[in-house]
Structure 1
């Protein structure tokens, strides 16, 4: 990464994360196709829902014949973390119109959010529409293309796990976390590691008492509070 906030810089920064999109998108397309969803349904889900984990949930619930109300509520719970991410990123786009902010928020993902947070370390805590829209749109198009490609080859792969596609998203997040730790000069490495360990332990404990999605949301909130406390 560098300090530039141009379209070219956005392309350069987002390309490494697209490999994660490709892996998970292929897996989603394969799983959805083997679950008897049509090519059009798979493409529309990737373009409209645009949320990897939620799309897997929707596919499994459709296969199980779940009611639409349950699918909508489950999708909301899975993506509830996006409320926190959007709120965090919004402060860097206050000078832009509401429509521009809606555009950024609509295509925001875990990966582009992490990229944005990492980019702040190089730009004196500044972001702009050119850079962020570039990363968002490239990620969006790659995800859709990977999903439909996976759907097209879905009949050829019976078990995506054998190819390690189910680990692609995890591997990508490990890489993003590593980049954040080594590039954030505003906080001591020990402080960052302490927060990471706290969130991991909190998540492990919370999983005993609640669902994975709820535990993830609560652990994230607790990690934010814990980080503020130890910094002060």
Structure 2
């Protein structure tokens, strides 16, 4: 990764992260196949919903015959963290058109957000729509393709966890966090470790009282507040 913000640079920068999409996308496709969803159904879900954790929940809720209202509400709660991410990244595109921002926000994911945060450390805190569009589009297409392939392979692979596919995104985020730690010079290294530790502990405690995605949202908010308190003025 370098300071280049061209479309081609976006394509190159996002490539390491798409391996996580491939692993989890294959796993989702296999689960969808065993839940008797068609290839067309999983493709449309990936193109329209485009949210890994939410799609796993949708598949399981469809299998149990849950009402549409419950599925919609669950999907909203699971993806509510994207509100915080979109607000964070929107300030770097204030000079761009409303349509540009809609396009960027519609395809923003946890991974491309984290990638953008790492990119800021190399570009003097600047981003360009062309760079983020490239990263978003590649991630979007790879995710859709991976879920379709997984669905087609569903009859051959009964248990995707035996290949460690369920750990793909976790491993990817560990790598992105490491890159953030070694490239971000705006905050002391010890401060960053302190915030990470606080969020980890908060998440552990909150998971005892709230569902996973609600706990994640609350831990994120608490982490932001804690970071503001401990960061050097």
TM-score (norm: length of structure 1): 0.99
In structure 1, what is the Cα distance between the partners aligned to 2:109 and 2:69? Answer: 24
Deviates more, 1:7-16 or 1:113-122: 7-16
The match for 1:174 is: 174
Q: C-alpha offsets along residues 72-124 of structure 1, whole Å, 9 cap, x if unaligned? A: 00000100000000000000000011111000000000000000010000000
Written as runs of structure 1 = structure 2, the 5 A alignment for 1:68-107 is 68-107=68-107
Tell me the CA shift for residue 51 of structure 1. Answer: 0.3
List aligned pairs for 1:1-232, cutoff 5 A: 1-231=1-231, 232=233
Matches of 2:161 and 2:208 in 1, distance apart? 26
What TM-score results when the alignment is normalised by the length of structure 2? Answer: 0.99
Give the distance between the partners of 2:11 and 2:97, measured in 1 at CA. Answer: 24
Q: Residue 178 of structure 2 aligns to a residue in which SS?
A: helix
Per the TM alignment, residue 7 of structure 1 is displaced from its structure 2 partner at its CA by: 1.4
Deviation (angstroms), 1:12? 1.3
**Structure 1: 4+ residue segments shifted above 3 A:** none
Query: Matched residues in 1 for 2:229 and 2:28: separation?
Result: 39
Give 1:195 deviation, angstroms. Answer: 0.2
How many aligned positions are there?
232
Distance of 1:194 and 1:155 partners within structure 2: 46
1:11 Cα shift?
1.2
Give 5+ residue unaligned stretches, structure 1. none
SS of aligned partner of 1:157: coil
The structural deviation recorded for 1:210 is 1.0
* Inter-partner Cα distance in structure 2 for 1:206 and 1:118: 27
Q: Cα distance, 1:136 vs. partner? A: 0.2
Structure 2 unaligned segments of length 5 or more: list them.
Answer: none
